Amino acid sequence: MGKIVCNISMSLDGYIAGPDDDNDKYPLGKGGERIHEWVYELKSWRSLHGLEGGIDSKDGEIIAEIVESTGAMIMGRRMFDSGEKYWGDNPPFRNPLFIVTHTVPEITSKGGKNIYNFVTGGIESALGKSKAAAGDKDIAIMGGADIIQQFIKAKLLDEIQIHLIPVLFCGGKKLFDNLGDKQIGLEIIRVVNSPNVTHIKYKIVK
């Protein structure tokens, strides 16, 4: 099997969503879209979303690499609920998606029925089911923060790639929170930088 990884955009002050996040009005928190702007112009991202055009760049290669290396994905229910209405009948996932949830919802979108898998047994159950689906490829933990924190605390996450965005949010949802009171060691695997974002891939020392 591959690795268990996370690729996520974060402000320099550690936020992955703006303040006052609300699934209906501000799914990314107020101003939270700022940390995702770097992907919108990328050809590799646009093609995932059925959009034409876009540019090739080092940032685009990062997205293409993630798509290529991922075999299955795990996501929290709250993130799924806020995303599903936008993803619609042709969700931007090319892999089985395992959603950690307490109760299994009714799905209205057609396309998603083939790739959405609801798991009620927590992160370890989702991980077990995603392993068979991922084959030799990586399992990507998509978020939100709570699910990622659970994987780090359980020492299940192998690597985390931070897309570090040049902005201070000064409030919102922190990525690295609720992780206990002991230092967690990291090792730098790779740095790729562009004018818009600094991609740093870390191994998590267990």
Strand-pair partners of 117: 98
Q: Which is nearer to its own copies, 119 or 165 (CB)?
A: 165
147 binds its own copies (CB under 8 A): no
Identify whether the C-beta of residue 198 lies closer than 8 Å to the C-beta of residue 154.
no
For the bound state, the minimum distance from the C-beta of residue 58 to its own copies, rounded and expressed in Å, comes to 12
87 binds its own copies (CB under 8 A): no
Identify whether the C-beta of residue 50 lies closer than 8 Å to the C-beta of residue 90.
yes
d(CA 191, CA 199): 6
* CA-closest candidate to residue 174, choices 7, 6, 8, 3: 8
Three-state DSSP class for 123? helix
CA distances (Å), origin 4, targets 99, 105, 148, 180: 16, 26, 11, 21
Please identify which residue in 8, 44, 162, 173 interacts with its own copies, judged by CB under 8 A.
Answer: 162
154 binds its own copies (CB under 8 A): no
111 binds its own copies (CB under 8 A): no
200 binds its own copies (CB under 8 A): yes
Give the range of 6-14, 56-64, 94-102, 114-122 binding its own copies by CB under 8 A: 6-14
Q: Which is nearer to its own copies, 84 or 158 (CB)?
A: 158
92 binds its own copies (CB under 8 A): no
Place of tokens 């991980």: 127
Please identify which residue in 12, 51, 104, 107 interacts with its own copies, judged by CB under 8 A.
Answer: 12
